[in-house]
Structure 1
Amino acid sequence: MVEEYKVVYEGGEGEIIEKKSRFIATVVPVDTEEEALTFIEAQKKKYWDARHNCSAYVIGSKNEIIRCSDDGEPSGTAGKPMLEILVKEEIHNALVVVTRYFGGVLLGTGGLIRAYQKATKEGLNKSIIINKSLGYQLEVNTDYNGIGKIQYIIGQMNITTVDTDYTDEVTIHLLLPPRDLDCFQKKVIEATNGKAKMLLKDQVYYANILGETVIF
């Protein structure tokens, strides 16, 4: 499994004007090719009077599915340049559709490439892009004498705390990258003389979104 990758969490819409042609870029998150194709068809119906609805999408944490379409523009001037932006920015599970209303002035090959890439970037700028990180869920149970030591280790290693339960003892719910798991466990054992109990749970993907930890 990939330890970290960028995805579109919330799509957005951006627009540019180039020599009277209007380019509307719509970005959405997609998990399957079926979702992507359904959305592309919906955009074509929504913007039925537009000259072109070009598209590009990347699906999978390892770019398992990559597709693009010029939708009538000269070959290689729309879909591929749009796709290049997604790949260069290392954004996964994302679809961008750029709708063009022709303004009457020909842009030429270079002009089209620049316009479609600029529109794609504008759409991404209006979207929320997040880093999904692979981590272990770990519960640490300790008495009140050990909580300070454990919290120090958590801060020192920059470990993500999801929640903390205070009863007759303290249970801390954590998310740790695989690379930090062994080191953290050893430090907790040493700091508490083996008194703290640790329960290793599932591997999940998580992200920090607007200051809040979200588990997928």
Structure 2
Amino acid sequence: MIVVVGAGPGVSGSVARRFADEGHDVALLGQDEAILEELAADLRARGASVGHTVADVTDEKSARAAVRRFGEHTGRIDVLHFNPSAFREKDPLTLTVGELLDDVALGVGALLTVVQAARAFMSAGGRISVTGSMAADEPWEGAASLGVQKAGVRNLVHSLDKTLEPHGIRAVSVTVRGALSREGAFTPDRVADAIWSAVTRDEAGWTSEVPYAG
């Protein structure tokens, strides 16, 4: 089973569909009930068993409980995919410390919450994936907190991978080096293909970051 955290209509939805098409059951954690229900119906039509929960992933208690319920229902979590980030259009001179910390709590801190909750249901061969961004290296000053989030979550993935490697569980951040679009190399479906490829690689020569440049 794959648990998709921050499930919605973009890359996370495409990731859910990609894994469902490959035979995975899917658990969705997101904030919009209508979007989750629509995505769940699509996944069921593809033959997947689907569960979904509405939760704020910055609420540690609620997010942990939701992930635990998913794990207890199936007895295992094979893949945990983390997608959330906050886009706040403020430059460094207008962004407040409180706003920055709120955004980092979503785009970075919530990964700790869901991984810690999922760990009890993950075993050797389990994988953690994160939707990364070139904003980690080339931030746009007009949305300064996004680059901080993406750099921070990538760094955290490196630490998670080193920590979990002895248990046969690996983590990867897929750095999307382009702007998402409806056509071309950076559609959500193409990015989802890249995430699928990164997650299903052989462990020999594993890296905790994989760039996707289209």
Is the TM-score greater than 0.5? Answer: no
Q: Which has the higher contact order (CA 8 A, sep 6+)?
A: 1
Structure number having the greater helix percentage: 2
So what's the TM-score if we normalise by structure 1? Answer: 0.28
Which has the higher Rg, Structure 1 or Structure 2?
A: 1
Flag the structure with higher strand content. Answer: 1
